Amino acid sequence: VFICLDNVTNKYVIKKKLTDKDIRSGLGKRELNALKQLNHENINRFVDGYVDKERMTGSIYLEYCDQGTLYDLIKAHARSHSSLPEGFLIRVLDGVVAGIRYMHKGPSGQSNRQWNTLVHRDLKPANIFLKASQNPYPRAVIGDFGCCASDSDLRSGRATETVERQDPRFAPPEAPRYYRSSDIFQIGMIIVCMARLENEVSRSTRVEHGRPLGWGYSAEINHVVQKCILPDPEQRIRTSELVPVLD
């Protein structure tokens, strides 16, 4: 991954060079197709890209997020032993949920047969970018769609009903199978990481009931996150239910 200057807009962009494995397996093409479909402020904006299977080359160009990643921020706060404010946890939760709701249901936020539903399948702090905004807290931007799968990918055989690759530290209990609610589980784990200032969360956290974020955060946000990380994917809170919960 490189930072480049776009000669047309004179703005910095990220260049992600696809590996031979990405190109050969079709994962690179899948990622490219997903990014072309998506247009949302909480999703890493696609600028340009290509895959040339004959020459085994390919690159994807994306918007540059000037505040780094959530992984970097958690690491910095862990070093200084300074907790992240609840307002920022809510800001990230709201932003990531908005992006995932768009991926799952389209611009309307309602189920739409015309929409090609996408499931991210690899949400974790390292894949959440931060971008400066008018808000006191930066905007959360979902990135890295290398594990993403869409309905059309499944119908065409480009993707299977199990995850080909995924960070095991953030894999939901149902892995390698996945559902839309698998993304919800990983969103919850991201907020747990923020609260605990850990980029790797122990399995004991997953089964802890009541306050997965600890006593430093309100009962309300603890309750919401607890409903995100329930072991049974059918029981997890839905993106539509998450909208008003913390308003």
Report the top-level CATH class of 2-63.
Answer: alpha beta
Q: Which amino acid is at 121?
A: R
Residue 105 near residue 63 (C-beta atoms within 8 A) = no
Whole-model pTM? 0.93
Give the model's pLDDT for residue 166: 80
List the chain residues with pLDDT less than 50: 207
Q: What are phi and psi of 162, to 5 degrees?
A: -125, 155
Residue 192 near residue 206 (C-beta atoms within 8 A) = no
Give the model's pLDDT for residue 243: 72
Give the model's pLDDT for residue 186: 96
Give the model's pLDDT for residue 202: 67
Note the pLDDT tens digit of each residue in 76-132.
999 999 999 999 999 999 999 999 999 999 998 777 788 999 999 999 999 999 999
Give the model's pLDDT for residue 113: 83
> In the chain, what are the domain boundaries?
2-63, 70-245
Among all chains, which residue has been given the structure tokens 């995100």? Answer: 228
What span, in angstroms and rounded, lies between the C-alpha atoms of 228 and 236?
A: 5
What span, in angstroms and rounded, lies between the C-alpha atoms of 229 and 231?
A: 6
Give the model's pLDDT for residue 38: 97
Note the pLDDT tens digit of each residue in 46-56.
999 999 999 99
CATH architecture of residue range(s) 70-245? Orthogonal Bundle (1.10)
